Structure 1
Amino acid sequence: MITERGLPPQNIEAEMSILGGILVENAAIATVDEFLTQEAFYREGHRQIFKAMAGLCNRNEPVDLVTLSTELARMGALEEVGGASYLATLVDFVPMAANIAFYCRIVAEKAQERRLIAKAQEAVRIIYDGGTLEKAVEKLEHAIQPAIEKRSTAPVGMGEAVRDAIRRIEKRYEAKGDVQGLPYGLPALDKATSGMHSGELIIIAGRPSMGKTALGVNILANACTSGKSALLFTLEMSRVDIVERLAAGHGIKYQNIRSGQLGDAEWSKLAKVMGNIYGWKLSIDDTPAIGLREMRAKAYRQKREGLDLIVIDYLQLMALSDPKISRVQGLGEISRGLKQLARELDISIVALAQLSRAVDARNDKRPIMSDLRDSGEIEQDADVILFPYRPAAYCEQCKNRTDDARHTYRVHQAKAEIIIEKQRAGERNISVAACWLGEYQRFEAI
């Protein structure tokens, strides 16, 4: 505990140097704002002084001993911070205003250390109070994540931005038309989208039995086969079900796997397939009704070991952060969180989603953007939206397995397309033809 080891981490001299630096050079507060918030200061008096300084700067008023004393008196905090005499010591204390960024880094690090200690103590209390290990670990992960993240939020000048753009264009040129991101595994789809790019949120949406889970599993298999590292959150199926689907995708009839009625050749092939799958860098989490916060923690933990792709099956089954908010609002928060997570981890996130029944009531069954169930902000946050569509799912003749001069059951069953409804960095409202192999739960190129 803190009381056993003295005061929490702090550096009062650095805090005084920051405040004194602002008094000497008002423009320095812009540098401070890049590193610190009011809460980063350990001493409460320093928090009040910084708050008063920020208020003066926001009103375009000078920050000096007179104006600062007046502002603190108006706030009723002048005596609390030590009076005008203490403010005068700040001016005399600062070594050099030019070093203010260095002092800010010291104060920010001490503030992070205090937050880490506080969260660790909360985790200890949870254990002593009989709470679950999961809750204690969650507290620790929330403290550790900000400490290990390395994100630059400083604005970038046009010179650097142009150089980055040229480097990316040159890299594309050198690829000679090859897929730039992770391939979907369908050449026509890869050509139309240039693959899945880091930082992108990709939504695959469809009605039941359209093959959205199969497409998600196909994408996983394609990524893992090429040596990429992936994480699957499956909220609807168990991890064993997923492995069976992965095996079927390698040319073993899914129904035979489900029934266990495999011939000698299929058993031999299954053994070989399972041996290959065993070596994949794929982790499967089948926690039901997982929430965004828990998913985020697990993704960060996996990223430390290597992570290129996350697939979520499916969006509407995720738990909301607050049961009191509407489903639309809750899913909007989830989609925004997933988009942010994709950018923070610099990976692709593929989230499967359910379409509403509205599509079933129309004569034209091809899905459109507004069919996204509880869509909220999903269509806004997504970089790419794909609709797998199989017309045979609505065909009465296929339901009856009719074969005649006008209709061939197996041919119609195999017809499929992937509709690119949205693509932030490319052409939209286009369709890519595919072949649906239902007995293997797989989409293939035509």
Structure 2
Amino acid sequence: MEKLYYRLCKGMNSKGKLYAIEDNMYNHIDDYEKDWYFSTYLYTEEQRREIETEIEEVDKQGNKYTTIRGVSGITDVKTNKMCFDFDSHDNLELARKDTLKLVDKLIGEGIPKKDIQLCYSGSKGFGVIIETDTYFTPEEIKRTASFLTTDSETFDSKMYNASRIFRCPLTKHPVSGLYKYPLTYTELKDKHANEIKELAKSNDIDPLDYQDYFDVVQLPEKIVHLKNIKPKVSVSEVDRLEMVTKLDDINFSERPSFLTPAKYMLHLGHFQEGQRSHSAMILCSTYKKAGFSKTDSYRLLKSVMERQSEINNVDRFPDEELWNNVVSVVYGSNWNGGTYNSDTSDLLVKTNLLLPEYLRDTNKGSGLVDNDYIFGQFKKFMDEIDKNTLRFGIKDLDNKVKLLTGTTVGVLGIPSSGKTALGMSLLANNSKVGEQSIFYSLDMSINIIAYRQVQAITGWDDDMIKNTYKTNPKLFFDKYNESKETLFKNVTYCFRHGTTPADIRSDIVNYEQNTGKKVRLVLIDYLENVQSGYTDPTIGSGVVAQSLSNIAAELNVLIVILLQTQKNIQPTEEITSMRSIKGASIIEQSLSVAIGISRLGHSSTYSDYDTSMQVNVIKNRFGSQSRVDVGWSGNYAKIRDLTQEDRKNISEIIRLKKEDAEEREEERRQNRGNGWG
């Protein structure tokens, strides 16, 4: 069997010694009044030889000395210990409750209570360790722990880097003077955090008895499976990164070019106490890449830590730790020369999400996921498939067109063909079943939308609305209030000029965070009124359409976009091709479904029979292209199910059009005979 080693360090700044995993660390701790640390990650025989290789280093004064290489740069490690840290500088009791919540969850999953190692750190938090029969890489243990602590406010996700060490239970904290105190489940459950701190003032536990008390746990498959699921960082996770200043107070125009906006925020000291080591590593590697010397980087980092200390009103990060554990590592011979980005740092991802859209780092990470992630997301989608499938409320149309969240749908038609009416029918139908929508009315004013709502709820035509308002305003407003509380109760509106895709994304996210309600539908009237920043309208519309498609997928919302046709489309002409869209080639690829609407009676010639709308499904990722007729009540701009009378009117229009075409052909034939053509 492969021989493995752990690292034991006397003091945080020690490179430590390696011992075989069979060798109890308490055999080597000779002073429990000092702070000792051990690694949960294990090293192979080959790595041990590399770690213990002697090298020459230079101290802050420029003096050379011989030391061992150490573990810096060694990341191909594994651990069989599941570790969790819960820290809160201001609320130790909250950290205790979060720890208890996790322990109860683990017990519920079948992990024996007696084999869960619990400790109070002697400072600002609690730790949980379980020795298991499963091995994890740093990334795998981080994923597993993160999934098990999604409901925790104090969980520390930054403790899983490959060189991390943990203070040994029963040894003393160098600042607080309290011991890292082992706890029973009963003590964790029943004692207040302040009572536990009192226990940590003394140490009467035999270390050898403590170490041998816990057995190796066979992990349930349900927990083992978590290490293979790759989570996405979402906007809601930003809540766990507390801002210590207002963004308005930061002058980004002074940002050095080698720092991204997110790194610039760290450079100015805007990070929490528990994020200091990781922030320093991010900044130091960036300074080195930019050409700063080891000494210059050290001085810069000292300034950063000074600012961080002032902003957070905490003690400054120790200079010795900064030099030994950050600067010397980054400038050491084993550093691979890389810097941190969104792929390697959750802190940068979360800091980046706090920034305005125009300042955000464009590095999105690799974006690679495996099948477990895909089917995990699919399961979530299918669990709410009914809510994720939206409907117009018109039977024949809903049978032909599948509207799913996470997609974009284009509705194409000439002006006054009924696009907005169709959109409002979709809003009303989904509002009635309790689904939240946002309507971006960027073409019609507030007054016209209010007018359309009254039409939808009353069925009144223009004259009826005006007369009722004048003669019986109470009835009018009763009807309007009825509209607000029934058809459009769950619709929120935006009439903001200059709206961009970034604004739309921000509106959705903010609404969901502020109300706790999921937005399922966004209606945009219409595409060309969403600002892109491009002077060429065709390119701009394509860019906007692609951005909206990305937003729909990211936020799992259905975005319905009303689209303009090419100018050569006639009022009664059916739309049967994507070529009819303005800027078609760019927009087409962004849409999952596209429907073209027209009305056979959309002409003064046939207006007496204008009671139907023709809907052509011209692109459909979820089915075939098709055609369906729906009912149209033009007097109050309402889409409805087709009636028998509507079918008769369609037949009559077709007959009249055929007769008119025959008459025109006869006229042309006669004109040619008379020498006119």
Common topology (TM > 0.5): yes
Return the alpha-carbon distance in structure 2 between the equivalents of residues 237 and 50 of structure 1: 53
Return the alpha-carbon distance in structure 2 between the equivalents of residues 46 and 371 of structure 1: 53
Other-structure match for 1:248: 455
Aligned with residue 392 of structure 1, among 562, 579, 601: 601
Q: 1:292 to 1:115 in 2, by over 3 A?
A: closer
- Corresponding letter in the other structure for 1:330: G
1:341-362 Cα offsets, whole Å, 9 max, x none, are 112221111111111112239x
Return the alpha-carbon distance in structure 2 between the equivalents of residues 227 and 220 of structure 1: 11
2:425 maps to 1:218: yes
Return the alpha-carbon distance in structure 1 between the equivalents of residues 579 and 380 of structure 2: 38
Give yes or no for contact 1:248–1:257 (8 Å, CA) kept in 2: no
2:304 maps to 1:108: no
Other-structure match for 2:532: 320
Give yes or no for contact 1:383–1:424 (8 Å, CA) kept in 2: yes
Return the alpha-carbon distance in structure 2 between the equivalents of residues 163 and 302 of structure 1: 26
1:236-282 Cα offsets, whole Å, 9 max, x none, are 11223112212211233231365345697996376145234146122
2:647 maps to 1:433: no
- The percentage of counterpart residues that share the same residue type is 17
2:286 maps to 1:47: yes
Shift of the alpha carbon at 1:390? Answer: 0.3
Determine which structure has the larger helix proportion and give its number: 1
Q: 1:445 to 1:336 in 2, by over 3 A?
A: same
Shift of the alpha carbon at 1:170? Answer: 9.0
Deviates more, 1:376-385 or 1:276-285: 276-285
Number of corresponding residues: 347
Return the alpha-carbon distance in structure 1 between the equivalents of residues 610 and 447 of structure 2: 27
> Counterpart of 1:360 in 2: which secondary structure?
coil
Deviates more, 1:302-311 or 1:352-361: 352-361
> Counterpart of 1:221 in 2: which secondary structure?
helix
2:527 maps to 1:331: no
Shift of the alpha carbon at 1:155? Answer: 1.0
Shift of the alpha carbon at 1:108? Answer: 3.3
Flag the structure with larger Rg.
2
Structure 1: gaps of 5 or more residues: 1-12, 52-74, 94-102, 120-138, 402-408
Give yes or no for contact 1:249–1:441 (8 Å, CA) kept in 2: yes
Shift of the alpha carbon at 1:48? Answer: 6.2
Shift of the alpha carbon at 1:235? Answer: 0.9
Give yes or no for contact 2:409–2:592 (8 Å, CA) kept in 1: yes
Other-structure match for 1:62: none
Give yes or no for contact 1:231–1:282 (8 Å, CA) kept in 2: yes
> Counterpart of 1:207 in 2: which secondary structure?
coil
Return the alpha-carbon distance in structure 2 between the equivalents of residues 436 and 201 of structure 1: 24
Return the alpha-carbon distance in structure 1 between the equivalents of residues 589 and 353 of structure 2: 35
Aligned with residue 420 of structure 1, among 607, 617, 623: 617
Return the alpha-carbon distance in structure 1 between the equivalents of residues 383 and 352 of structure 2: 44
Q: 1:246 to 1:114 in 2, by over 3 A?
A: closer
2:73 maps to 1:23: yes
Return the alpha-carbon distance in structure 2 between the equivalents of residues 88 and 45 of structure 1: 7
Q: Give TM-score, length-normalised by structure 1.
A: 0.64
Give yes or no for contact 1:418–1:433 (8 Å, CA) kept in 2: yes
Q: 1:435 to 1:169 in 2, by over 3 A?
A: same
Shift of the alpha carbon at 1:444? Answer: 0.7
Q: 1:78 to 1:30 in 2, by over 3 A?
A: farther
Shift of the alpha carbon at 1:171? Answer: 8.0
Q: 1:416 to 1:364 in 2, by over 3 A?
A: closer
Determine which structure has the larger strand proportion and give its number: 2
Within a 5 Å distance, the mapping from 1:8-407 to structure 2 comes to 23-25=73-75, 42=280, 44-47=283-286, 86=328, 90=332, 108=345, 110-111=347-348, 139=356, 153=367, 155-157=369-371, 161=374, 181-194=389-402, 196-256=403-463, 259-261=466-468, 268=475, 271-278=478-485, 280-304=489-513, 305=515, 306=517, 307-323=519-535, 326-360=536-570, 365-393=574-602, 395=603, 397-398=605-606
Other-structure match for 1:134: none
2:641 maps to 1:445: yes
Give yes or no for contact 1:201–1:348 (8 Å, CA) kept in 2: yes
Q: 1:22 to 1:437 in 2, by over 3 A?
A: farther
Return the alpha-carbon distance in structure 2 between the equivalents of residues 187 and 116 of structure 1: 42
Return the alpha-carbon distance in structure 1 between the equivalents of residues 350 and 589 of structure 2: 37
- Corresponding letter in the other structure for 1:349: I
Give yes or no for contact 2:531–2:544 (8 Å, CA) kept in 1: no
- Corresponding letter in the other structure for 2:631: C
- Corresponding letter in the other structure for 2:418: G
1:89-129 Cα offsets, whole Å, 9 max, x none, are 75899xxxxxxxxx999x83554676689x5xxxxxxxxxx
Shift of the alpha carbon at 1:26? Answer: 6.7
- Corresponding letter in the other structure for 2:581: L
> Counterpart of 1:312 in 2: which secondary structure?
strand
Q: Give TM-score, length-normalised by structure 2.
A: 0.44
Q: 1:284 to 1:254 in 2, by over 3 A?
A: farther
RMSD: 4.7
Return the alpha-carbon distance in structure 2 between the equivalents of residues 355 and 258 of structure 1: 31
Return the alpha-carbon distance in structure 2 between the equivalents of residues 341 and 263 of structure 1: 44
Return the alpha-carbon distance in structure 2 between the equivalents of residues 171 and 229 of structure 1: 15
> Counterpart of 2:635 in 1: which secondary structure?
helix
Deviates more, 1:283-292 or 1:415-424: 283-292
Return the alpha-carbon distance in structure 2 between the equivalents of residues 152 and 257 of structure 1: 59
Q: Which of 1 and 2 has higher RCO (CA within 8 Å, sep 6+)?
A: 1
